[in-house]
Structure 1
């Protein structure tokens, strides 16, 4: 009778080891791909300190009245800045509507911070177009845009992703980051707000930012 080693069943043959290795590599690659696909443009699970070296920096843009505006114009009040475009069918109007609701829920604190919308589509969004668009939300929103070079400068500095996506008829739409960046009254980056998070969470973030 042949003795059976109780550990023999745990010993992988060379072919089995190779198969397990291939399986593991495939699983790892699938996990990486899934993470890239499912991760939104802005992900920030851990709070970022206001003193941390984060997004921000100097910029020169144009407001809805055609006036030149630099980053210094935003100093003095905390602000929440969002990048998008006026033809955006879903994320932009939903996010700006949400920010309007958050401001109302903050009561008297609602006037103590600015909401800033930067259009990354200067090809379609002229200053007056942005101004007309923002009036639809029923709350003061600072609208900004600029040349392609100016938009590239601010999006690079603020770590914002955007890209033109061709559509039928030779036109394009824009894929872009959906996060709302929060800055204190001195222009220092504080955190990024997910527009899909619970309303109470967003209100708490803004209230903390205002009272900091």
Structure 2
């Protein structure tokens, strides 16, 4: 797939994500103290996230309770992704380092939108690569299970091409979920580790 087409799909996904958040996230009538212009924060009413049935990179069945008890960064991608997925994972690694002690309460969840190739073993091999954060939880499942999870988060994706050389277009939004498993904020994949850590820390402080 030409890079230009992938960029166009990514731009369209960004517009969809902004529209989704604008419609589904209920904001307080007055900005919370310290809230910066353009920062999106949920009051817990967002219709983003929900039940899912998947397996992790160790082939263990998991569901949405995986997100309970700590903060989570949920990101949709695939192991054959040439640039966006590895770049985002590296950014999230740097973000956790920038968070310092707060990173102990934060997990990264990578959900594959390419179940045809991304078996648990493939995810395990991919996430064990040098340069990626330690402890990333990789999830996959049947096509129907993956589609249900993506729909729950409003995460768009599309298979492009046929045969072994096909690729996957997908949204680039990172979803920050609270310890109750509910959506808190959306982060852009190119926000940068320092700014991402600042936003995450600010949202964590609000609980």
TM-score, normalising length: structure 1: 0.77
Match of 1:140 in 2: 135
Do the aligned residues in 1 keep the contact of 2:9 with 2:170 (CA within 8 Å)? no
Do the aligned residues in 2 keep the contact of 1:122 with 1:146 (CA within 8 Å)? yes
Match of 2:94 in 1: 101
Q: Which runs of 5+ in 1 are unaligned?
A: 1-34
Q: Hey, what's the Cα distance between the residues in 2 that align with 1:88 and 1:151?
A: 17
Q: Hey, what's the Cα distance between the residues in 2 that align with 1:131 and 1:48?
A: 32
Match of 2:171 in 1: 177
Match of 1:70 in 2: 63
Match of 1:60 in 2: 53
Pairing of 1:111-190 with structure 2 (within 5 A)? 111-136=104-129, 137-166=132-161, 171-190=165-184
Q: Hey, what's the Cα distance between the residues in 1 that align with 2:40 and 2:46?
A: 13
Number of positions where the alignment pairs a residue of Structure 1 with one of Structure 2: 177
Q: Deviations over 1:44-63 (max 9, x none)?
A: 55614232223111001001
SS in 1 for 2:50: coil
SS in 2 for 1:106: helix
Q: Which runs of 5+ in 2 are unaligned?
A: 1-7, 22-37
Runs ≥4 residues deviating over 6 A: none
TM-score, normalising length: structure 2: 0.79
CA offset at residue 129 of structure 1?
A: 1.0
Q: Hey, what's the Cα distance between the residues in 1 that align with 2:77 and 2:199?
A: 21
Superposition RMSD in Å:
2.0
SS in 1 for 2:185: strand
Q: Hey, what's the Cα distance between the residues in 2 that align with 1:110 and 1:170?
A: 38
SS in 1 for 2:172: coil
